[in-house]
Amino acid sequence: MFAQSGFIAVDWGTTNRRAYRVGGDGRHDAEFEDDRGVLSIARGGFPAATAEIRARLGDWPLLLAGMVGSNKGWVEAPYVRCPGGFDELAANVVWTEPERSAIVPGLSYLAGDHADVMRGEEVQMLGAVARGLIPADGLACHPGTHNKWVLLEGARITAFRTVMTGELFNMLKSRGILADWLQGPVEVGDVFLSGVREGLKGGAMAADLFAVRARVLLGQANAADAPSFTSGLLIGSDVFAGLGEAAGAVTVIGRPDLTRLYAAAIAEAGREATQVDGEEAFLAGIIEVARRIS
Amino acid sequence: MFAQSGFIAVDWGTTNRRAYRVGGDGRHDAEFEDDRGVLSIARGGFPAATAEIRARLGDWPLLLAGMVGSNKGWVEAPYVRCPGGFDELAANVVWTEPERSAIVPGLSYLAGDHADVMRGEEVQMLGAVARGLIPADGLACHPGTHNKWVLLEGARITAFRTVMTGELFNMLKSRGILADWLQGPVEVGDVFLSGVREGLKGGAMAADLFAVRARVLLGQANAADAPSFTSGLLIGSDVFAGLGEAAGAVTVIGRPDLTRLYAAAIAEAGREATQVDGEEAFLAGIIEVARRIS
């Protein structure tokens, strides 16, 4: 029903949301982004928060993805266990208003000791495959607060692993012994890449982080380099964990300011990296889900 | 001069301070602890803050150690480069009031890429050696906001490495996606030890941390176990980094509530661990420094 009539697609995350008006022809003609993320909505506030979206983009059905389907969101949409592709996502949407609003579920992964979950990135990842921006088989990552390393096989997500690099960097920046030095910009350059090389060794990050401070105190490094070095260290460690045994090129999908950092780190690890804008991929993905909901 | 007349010894850290009145006979007969750590003292406030100490313990000379000698303290006491023992510390005290107050310097370590600093732990470590609580040669660690792994050779500190485990745990507890689940107590038991084993693998901590959340969401673990598991994971990773190639027993020195956690983790790694109370060791150490200042 969504695809025929047109609908509003919403990528509703923890701290912000992006909404797009998609016509029956599959093209989007209006959008907005604001900071009304899931954590800013009070319990019981989602009907009003979705009414705001319709007030801005028109009275259309809503197809929602991301943390809006978590236990802190509007209605919980249970995770679909991997492997998962568009068919599994579409078959498991949860209707919050009959024939008017549905939430796309996230994915879960369990293998031996490892447990993992995602909500929202799967729509972007699969959308990028549908649009031909990334191969249907291979390794991709989605940097953000929680970076997701995803294994794609036959246009489905078969395994994934989350590394909370963004959250750790934000924490280190907001308080603690390195905070004063992490306020400046992160630049991709020699300093960032030297941090990446340190992280790629797979050493003890909690020790390497303290050394950032000690090097400055002992005159071995400049305080102004701390943001780039620390970001490189965390991302290098993330890439070390994520590349694992897989071979071949890696796609980095998401916000361009983050994908450029990961692409540089992956290249430093000797692997080819391609960047894809997550916004375009999200639209492609949510339209594919919509097409499968009758 | 300190040792003959008696003096006040102060272990003045970032967030609190402990002061002890030590008599000419080397015994202490009065003490107090409060939260007037270095970060709580305004610029220029140290004369008043030390006057408070004398108002409580008497008008005696002061011998100060810890972050009070850092660039955020009263007067900066430049680091003494390793190897360092009591002689080097005593020879490099910085007088803040002539013949009335002196600050014991910290230690620095530089080797290849590695840079490190400490302030305060060295007095406890060397004091424990002087008191016969730990061997003059061997590996010791001092858990706290920043855990210090220290190599002792001939009753001097020859190398060390800092792991900011305590700071990371406090950050995770105060904000972010795990914070709600980390408020409970950490117990040494099966859950803690399973976290330790995970950390001892030396994997990517930022990935393992996210899995804590995913396991609970997917019903693979209880939320109530998150504090013990996460503490075990961080400490296991710390122990993995710290044990390195060294063999033999390890001494854990510091606050008993922390040394018991590290001792359990070191034992899980198959190494013998002995616990030493840091307070007693501090007093022994500062008295040794005092004896060397004429």
Q: Report the percentage of chain B scoring pLDDT > 90.
A: 89
Pair (A67, A176) in one structural domain: no
B11-25: average pLDDT: 94
Q: Which of A71, A164, A234 sits opposite B210 (nearest CB)?
A: A164
- Here the CATH number for the domain that contains residue B108 is 3.30.420.300
Pair (A119, A244) in one structural domain: no
Which residue ranges in chain A fall short of pLDDT 50? none
Instruction: Please tell me the predicted confidence (pLDDT) of residue A276.
Output: 96
Whether B207 and A110 lie within 8 Å, measured CB to CB? no
The CA-to-CA distance between both ends of chain A, in Å, stands at 5
Instruction: Please tell me the predicted confidence (pLDDT) of residue B196.
Output: 97
Nearest CA in chain B to A205: B205
Q: What's chain A's Rg over C-alpha atoms?
A: 20
Q: pLDDT band at residue B294, thresholds of 50, 70 and 90? A: confident
Pair (A172, A117) in one structural domain: no
Structure tokens at A2: 């969504």
Structure tokens at A154: 């036959």
State the maximum Cα–Cα separation within chain B, in Å, rounded to a whole number.
Answer: 65
Q: pLDDT band at residue B2, thresholds of 50, 70 and 90? A: confident
**Which of chain B's residues have a Cβ under 8 Å away from the Cβ of A171?**
171-172, 175-176
> Looking at beta carbons, which pairs linking B44-52 to residues 24 or more positions away fall under 8 Å?
B46/B73, B46/B74, B46/B75, B46/B96, B50/B74, B50/B101
**Which of chain A's residues have a Cβ under 8 Å away from the Cβ of B203?**
241
Counting the structural domains of chain B, the total is 2
Question: Is A204 part of a structural domain of the chain?
Answer: yes
**Which of chain B's residues have a Cβ under 8 Å away from the Cβ of A207?**
161-164, 238, 241
Nearest CA in chain A to B163: A207
Question: Is B154 part of a structural domain of the chain?
Answer: no
Pair (B233, B287) in one structural domain: no
Pair (B124, B239) in one structural domain: no
- b/e map of A129-157 (b: 16 or more CB within 10 Å)? bbbebbbeebbbbbbbbbbbbbbbeebbb
Best probe of the B interface among A80, A114, A164, by most B CBs < 10 A, is A164
Separation CA B214–CA A95 (nearest Å) = 24
Provide the strand spans (E) within chain B. 7-12, 17-22, 28-34, 62-66, 80-81, 94-97, 101-103, 107-111, 114-118, 138-142, 147-153, 156-163, 250-254, 273-277
For residue A131, the 8-state DSSP code is T
Pair (B130, B8) in one structural domain: yes
Nearest CA in chain A to B240: A204
Pair (A100, A180) in one structural domain: no
Whether A204 and B240 lie within 8 Å, measured CB to CB? yes
Task: List pLDDT tens digits, range A7-60.
Answer: 999 999 988 999 999 998 989 999 999 999 998 999 899 999 999 999 999 999
The per-residue DSSP string of B55-74 comes to HHH-S--EEEEEGGGSTTSS
Instruction: Please tell me the predicted confidence (pLDDT) of residue B244.
Output: 79
Question: Is A249 part of a structural domain of the chain?
Answer: yes
Question: Is B142 part of a structural domain of the chain?
Answer: no
Separation CA B105–CA A52 (nearest Å) = 61
- Here the CATH number for the domain that contains residue B226 is 3.30.420.310
Instruction: Please tell me the predicted confidence (pLDDT) of residue A3.
Output: 76
Pair (B186, B286) in one structural domain: no
Task: List pLDDT tens digits, range B136-159.
Answer: 999 999 999 999 999 999 999 999
- Smallest CA–CA distance, residue B117 to chain A, in Å, is 6
Whether A204 and B202 lie within 8 Å, measured CB to CB? yes
Instruction: Please tell me the predicted confidence (pLDDT) of residue A240.
Output: 94
Question: Is B246 part of a structural domain of the chain?
Answer: yes
Question: Is B149 part of a structural domain of the chain?
Answer: no
The boundaries of the domain holding residue A196 are 163-277
- Whole-prediction pTM: 0.93
Pair (B179, B115) in one structural domain: no
Pair (A246, A285) in one structural domain: no
Pair (A131, A169) in one structural domain: no
Whether A211 and B165 lie within 8 Å, measured CB to CB? no
Q: Is the pLDDT of residue B94 over 90?
A: yes
